[in-house]
Amino acid sequence: MENSVIAQESDVTLEVDDVRLEGSLTIPEGAQALVVFAHGSGSSRFSPRNQFVARTLNEGGLATLLFDLLTAEEDTVDQDTHEFRFDISLLSGRLAGAVDWVRQQDLTRAMPVGLFGSSTGAAAALIAAAWRPEMVGAVVSRGGRPDLADDALPEVQAPTLLIVGGLDNAVIGLNRLASDQMRVKPHIEIVPGATHLFEEAGKLEEVARLACRWFQEKLAPAAAG
């Protein structure tokens, strides 16, 4: 069921692990579930690809939270040193804290929660799902590095969709390696003709459709029609 009715959009500040992280929360009218985004290395809540996917989810009746995994100060340092973007433990803790935050807000506390991770954010999403099995109901990875979730992979209970570009050969292999370590086997979706960033015509739209359907089916079956 497509839902393009008026959405409530607001800038929010999450207090996680003694830091303040800026985010954007969008709640379509009648939203039945919420998807929290974990962007990849060197990116932010303003990632145009994640924002595109988020809009598709909103049109499908799903609420979204995009937020910065790093503070402004950390991001400035990271641009020069890459010190934080591959600190998977730090990113996972921030994402788990964001899940805790949405469960404390009046507008979102009752919504089932899914996680959408890209690049290194996919590893953070899987680790957060392993840490919060009673809160996280589904995970989607876009061009992700789930292999970086390491020891957390067998502990992931949430149904997981791994989306990889058909031309992204190295990452396809890493996704299959991660899948082999997971007890709850994920579904791997290969998008033909797509490279790592899904920049080819129509490929990001396909990612968005796949993610929307997955979250609708796993988190909000009524929205899936």
pLDDT tens, residue by residue, 1-53: 444 456 899 999 999 988 999 999 999 999 999 999 998 765 668 788 899 99
| Cα–Cα distance, 35 to 182 (Å, whole number) | 22
CB–CB of 115/35 below 8 Å?
Answer: yes
Lowest mean per-residue pLDDT among 66-80, 141-155, 188-202: 66-80
Q: Residue 2 falls within a domain, yes or no?
A: no
- pLDDT at residue number 6: 67
Query: How many Cβ atoms sit within 10 Å of the Cβ of residue 134?
Result: 6
β strands within 40-128, DSSP E: 63-67, 113-118
Q: Residue 52 falls within a domain, yes or no?
A: yes
**DSSP secondary structure letter of residue 152:** G
Q: Residue 37 falls within a domain, yes or no?
A: yes
Q: Residue 1 falls within a domain, yes or no?
A: no
How many domains does the structure of the chain reveal?
Answer: 1
CB–CB of 140/122 below 8 Å?
Answer: no
Q: List the domain range (segments joined by +) for residue 83.
A: 7-224
Q: Residue 117 falls within a domain, yes or no?
A: yes
Write down the pTM of the prediction.
0.93
Q: Residue 133 falls within a domain, yes or no?
A: yes
CB–CB of 184/161 below 8 Å?
Answer: no
**pLDDT (mean) for 118-146:** 96
- pLDDT at residue number 157: 98
Q: What is the CATH number of the domain that holds 39?
A: 3.40.50.1820
Q: Residue 202 falls within a domain, yes or no?
A: yes
Q: Residue 21 falls within a domain, yes or no?
A: yes
